[in-house]
Chains A and B, each alone.
Chain A
Amino acid sequence: MKTTGTENADRANFPQRPAASPFTAASQSTTPFLSSGPVVGSEAFAFRPAPPNAPQTTPSAPQTTRPYLSSGLMVGSEASGFRPTQPVRYNDPSIPRPPSSFVPPPTGTLQHHPTPQFFSTAQAPPPRTSPGQPVFPPPIRAPAGHVPSPPVYLHSQPQISSGQMGSPPQSINYVPSGRSVPPSSSDSLFSAPRSTLQPLQSAFPGYSSKSPNAVTQPPPVQSAPVFTHQGGYGPPPPATSTPFLAHQRGYVPPPPVAAPPAFYSREQMQHQGSGLPMGAVQGLTEDFSSLSLASVPGSLDPGLDSKVLPRPLDGDVEPKSFAEMYPLNCNSRYLRLTTSAIPNSQSLTSRWHLPLGAVVCPLAEAPEGEEVPIVNFATTGIIRCRRCRTYVNPYMTFTDGGRKFRCNICALLNDVPGDYFAQLDANGRRIDLNERPELTKGTVEFIAPAEYMVRPPMPPLYFFVIDVSISAVRSGMLEVVAQTIKSCLDRLPGFPRTQIGFITFDSSIHFYNMKSSLTQPQMMVVTDLDDIFVPLPDDLLVNLSESRSVVDVFLDSLPSMFQDNVNMESAFGPAIKAAFMVMNQLGGKMLIFQNTLPSLGVGRLRLRGDDLRVYGTDKEHTLRIPEDPFYKQMAADCTKYQIAVNVYALSDKYTDIASLGTLAKYTGGQIYYYPSFQSSIHKEKLRHELARDLTRETAWESVLRIRCGKGVRFTTYHGNFMLRSTDLIALPAVDCDKAYAMQMSLEETLLTTQTVYFQVALLYTSSSGERRIRVHTAAAPVVSELGEMYRQADTGAIISLFCRLAIEKTLSYKLEEARSSIQQRIVKAFREYRNLYAVQHRLGGRMIYPESLKFLPLYGLALCKSIPLRGGYADAQLDERCAAGHTMMALPVKNLLKLLYPNLVRVDEYLGKASSKPDELNISRLPVTAESLDSRGLYIYDDGLRFVIWFGKMLPPDIAMNLLGEDFATDFSRVILSERDSEMSRKLMEILKKFREIDPSYYQMNHLVRQGEQPREGFFLLTNLIEDQVGGMNGYIDWIQQIHRQVQQNA
């Protein structure tokens, strides 16, 4: 394997470094790029004597997006003689570099610079660590280099000044020592360089903001350096490209070497994309001349125009640099780390105030053509590490001529079994590498041998427990359910082994004998709820393919069988118990359709209701936890017997989702909540979601475990499942719509490895009856600087963890506390970040945050306004809260982000255009605020769970006519949007269909809302416009200001 190989080479080189002269050492470490190595040295020397030039290296594209950070600091110093050291730090952030190695003889002051960095690993005071950080971002910055647009230069400028600051290392030392002191001390230190570098200072935002001249000044300076650059490099390819090479050498550690240009260009695109929302910001920053906002830490003046604020209008942008550094990693749809830079010490971890962990979606749907390769080690047995049981993966290194392999997680040297032996070629790679997907892909599936089975693979099993009480019949639920199940019978996975069974219940429990030899099912009624027994030993659970005709007859007659039922009771608990008794031999999926509050037998619930008086008191949380221990006990039993429970709650009254949800929560199931279900309105939604539940690819009787390298440990797990031992997640059924989150902690005070590896393994039985192990492997670098962690942060994963933590918190605390804990953590994180950089850059009144976290405040706000956490008593019904909470605990990152910050698009213009086809649909998302709504427009609000279609007051009546026919003037709550005979209507339906296809896990129901039609508008749309101030909750601007204030308060 090439990458590991080079990695090793680097490692091997490190020890030599101290002895060698700095530059040669550097070139050694970067052997792969050797060609440019020496050049860099000369370059550095060239700059050294002329300090003013130093900054000029920075303009060299790559750093552009890097903000003013002290990162610049490093760059500056680097420019003045250190450039070559960059790679050193980067490749190997965890190793405290031997400072001596970098120190270029002439720069006395600079010598100190590495030293603090060195110390930082031990003491970890914030700003000190910063010097090393710049190293990382280049991949992001790089693109800017290609873009010869003015902003690029602007970005780079801050670094210029920071470069100056970088040179006096003492300032760095002071900053951490006392937070209050630093300004003055650092000031004095800074002043020295300032005097020498007059013109450049102006470029720095702090100063330049006042002098417009500054804007003009920098460019010439920059251009000059660019040339010097070229000179330095000798061969004059375009100036921008050369610096790149040097950079790549530095940051991009071993792997992506192969095609750097390719991914840089991709980067570029991404960058531009993410830069988009900040376009406005840039306009604004023009006033500040060098203030480069498209660059990382945006800075905001309180009270700024709201347009300036960052918004994730492009959806979820995943951090790419991670995947590029380790191309062998599994795709981010399977595993996302909250930060792709693992802190190397506990003290560093404690300063990272955001959650440190991962979000795993083991069965995420792969797009066409990216199927997971399947590997069968038939006779060899699965290759695993002897000690830590890690599965073979691309990061395992083969040594000793191919006879041994080293485990990447625990570093144990294992023997390669004879059947698996392959010789190594000159590069130390196995010669059969190309035929071994498990050694080249981050995600593979192994066929499990018999040792991984406690019993033969179970068949897919669906057991339906259906409420047939009066309300279930009246609401039409029974009919829809029966029809839907019938229509899905052909598509149930696992033919011909699929098993199926039914129980219905009201005040008694009805079993159905579906023996294949019968012509129609026999119903058996059990009325003894206290002592449930199963009336038949078998035939309650039958093979679908054999008893198909009986099942068909049953489903056809089910609605009519109970149409005159007037029973209002619900023996919910006993029914579940009965279903459990039928199923427990095999396990499978139990689907419960529930319409009436459980009133009989075990597990009966009372109307504890949404008690207004309880809110705000210490007892508030008790409403959100199950009342009766029966449910948790039942869930535990179900998990033990591999039964997953999905609850479809369709009541029009309070049904205590908090209790019912427990069943789904601990069995890896799901809650579907349809408040006041009416088949005329909700039919489509229930049909779609039930069909998806029944037909999507499901993994049965599975267990999930995540392993990670030594020194790191996963401590807590969050999501819908039950832990079987400390780290084994038991999942009776999993599918692509479920994600699990976990938090990790450092076990050792100091990590000595340079990379931490993660491996997620899901052992499951596929619907076709194969036992398989799906393995996702990923690597992440260990870093010693806080700034690096921030730079590699993944907002999506962080928010996902935040969300789960907050929802869990609502189970034992007040909503208010859950919300404030989110806010507190964001504030703390930003404060820490501010401490890193603010002082040096004198951004007193500005808000600083890393580029990677620019959406964090907004998502945090959205989270606080999400249904499970929002407001108090009046803002959401208790059942709705609990149902949403359960849903959000399981959502994959992308869906969660969409739910938190929904799509809002305007479609009337598109509909009005005569010729446009749906393929050309290119609608940009609007900020989710009332200001985006124009009363002449038609908007679609899509949060992944539902559509709200908003008709403006002044919307041309012909549009409404076309879309709704004669219904356009009536009460929208009764109007159902359906395709009508007009071009516009067809187009609209086309759009909605497209939106639904993007996100098939739920059916988005249409809610039509007319502007000014209260309370509908308020309920569906206005309360969900998260950027607005709604009912005592902050708007986006206020929120940002509040956070900013709090960040500054104790800074």
Chain B
Amino acid sequence: MVKLTMIARVTDGLPLAEGLDDGRDWQDAELYKQQIKALFKNLSRGQNEPSRMSVETGPYIFHYIIEGRVCYLTMCDRAYPKKLAFQYLEDLKNEFERVNGSQIETAARPYAFIKFDTFIQKTKKLYQDTRTQRNISKLNDELYEVHQIMTRNVQEVLGVGEKLDQVSQMSSRLTSESRIYADKARDLNRQALIRKWAPVAIVIGVVILLFWVRKKIW
């Protein structure tokens, strides 16, 4: 069952349209919306993501396709057939490109194509029930292959960026600290040297002085 549908521009994560009364009847809608937004942000950072992917989160699963710099994402129950979900997204994509294709790049405000929600609504209803004849035939249609679409976990996906950040942070900290370490080591070395040879030098100096004094007196 399709729970949430969102369409966003990949280049900057700007939301373009969203299903109408998505988020009805369940509690954690806000949490998952946040996750979706984070996901979009990740995508907009230009990480090279596959154009079709499924992401598991809690009892649900996100499916998305990226095409023409637009990301179409839907959230379903885990039990919902992957095939149907992706066909749903394909349907949305085709219609969206047909209607708004030319304006996607120039859209300047969020939800610029909110009018699309009626279509989302309509299409969603068609896919709501997996047992209708139409959907069953779609399921059996072998032409549409979804097996190789990767499935990952949301923590993983959202974590990738975070981890990279962490690594680069750590490495930069490492460089600066090692530099400090090197400086300190050099300093210590010099001090050790001084400490080691200073008494000897003093003694020698004194001896030479004595010699010199004796020579003068005599």
The reply to whether B114 and A497 form a contact with Cβ atoms under 8 Å apart is: yes
Distance A543 CA – B125 CA, assembled complex (angstroms):
13
Q: Given A450-B14, A586-B21, check contact A378 B109 (CB 8 Å).
A: yes
Q: Given A546-B122, A585-B24, check contact A457 B115 (CB 8 Å).
A: no
Chain B residues near A585 (CB-CB < 8 A): 21, 23-24
- Rounded to whole Å, the gap between the CB of A898 and the closest CB of chain B is 39
Q: Given A378-B108, A769-B115, A771-B110, check contact A450 B21 (CB 8 Å).
A: no
Size of A's binding interface in residues, CB under 8 A: 22
Chain B residues near A711 (CB-CB < 8 A): none
The reply to whether B121 and A543 form a contact with Cβ atoms under 8 Å apart is: yes
Closest to B14 in A: A450
A-B contact pairs, 6 of them (CB 8 A): A453-B110, A453-B111, A456-B17, A496-B118, A543-B121, A769-B114
The reply to whether A447 and B108 form a contact with Cβ atoms under 8 Å apart is: yes
B109's partner among A449, A496, A545, A586 (CB-CB below 8 A) is: A449
The reply to whether A769 and B111 form a contact with Cβ atoms under 8 Å apart is: yes
Chain B residues near A1038 (CB-CB < 8 A): none
Q: Given A456-B15, A456-B18, check contact A546 B118 (CB 8 Å).
A: yes
Give the one of A376, A456, A543 with max B CB within 10 A: A456
Chain B residues near A378 (CB-CB < 8 A): 108-109
Interface residues of B in 20-39 (CB under 8 A from A): 20-21, 23-24
For residue A770, CB closer than 8 A to chain B, the reply is yes
The reply to whether A545 and B110 form a contact with Cβ atoms under 8 Å apart is: no
Closest to A378 in B: B108
Chain B residues near A496 (CB-CB < 8 A): 115, 118
The reply to whether B15 and A450 form a contact with Cβ atoms under 8 Å apart is: yes
Interface residues of A in 444-458 (CB under 8 A from B): 447-450, 453, 455-457
Q: Interface on chain A toward B: helix, strand, loop, or mixed SS?
A: loop
For residue B90, CB closer than 8 A to chain A, the reply is no
Distance A496 CA – B23 CA, assembled complex (angstroms):
22
Binding site for A on B (CB under 8 A): 14-15, 17-18, 20-21, 23-24, 108-111, 114-115, 117-118, 121-122
Distance A113 CA – B117 CA, assembled complex (angstroms):
71
Binding site for B on A (CB under 8 A): 376, 378, 447-450, 453, 455-457, 459, 496-497, 538, 543, 545-546, 585-586, 769-771
Chain B residues near A769 (CB-CB < 8 A): 111, 114-115
Distance A453 CA – B18 CA, assembled complex (angstroms):
12
B20's partner among A376, A448, A459 (CB-CB below 8 A) is: A459
Chain B residues near A459 (CB-CB < 8 A): 20, 117
- Rounded to whole Å, the gap between the CB of A1018 and the closest CB of chain B is 54
Chain A residues near B114 (CB-CB < 8 A): 456-457, 497, 769
Q: Given A450-B15, A585-B24, check contact A376 B115 (CB 8 Å).
A: no
The reply to whether B109 and A770 form a contact with Cβ atoms under 8 Å apart is: yes
Chain B residues near A376 (CB-CB < 8 A): 108-109
Closest to B116 in A: A497
Distance A447 CA – B110 CA, assembled complex (angstroms):
9
Distance A532 CA – B142 CA, assembled complex (angstroms):
47
The reply to whether B110 and A449 form a contact with Cβ atoms under 8 Å apart is: yes
Chain A residues near B18 (CB-CB < 8 A): 455-456
Closest to B113 in A: A769
Q: A378-B109, A459-B117, A586-B21 are in contact. List 13 more A-B contacts (CB 8 A).
A: A376-B109, A448-B109, A449-B109, A450-B14, A450-B15, A450-B111, A456-B15, A496-B118, A497-B114, A497-B115, A585-B23, A585-B24, A771-B110
Distance A449 CA – B114 CA, assembled complex (angstroms):
14
The reply to whether B118 and A545 form a contact with Cβ atoms under 8 Å apart is: yes
Chain A residues near B21 (CB-CB < 8 A): 538, 585-586
Chain A residues near B109 (CB-CB < 8 A): 376, 378, 447-449, 770-771
Distance A453 CA – B33 CA, assembled complex (angstroms):
12
A771's partner among B14, B20, B111, B122 (CB-CB below 8 A) is: B111
- Rounded to whole Å, the gap between the CB of B108 and the closest CB of chain A is 4
- Rounded to whole Å, the gap between the CB of B35 and the closest CB of chain A is 16
Q: Given A450-B15, A456-B18, A585-B24, check contact A497 B117 (CB 8 Å).
A: yes
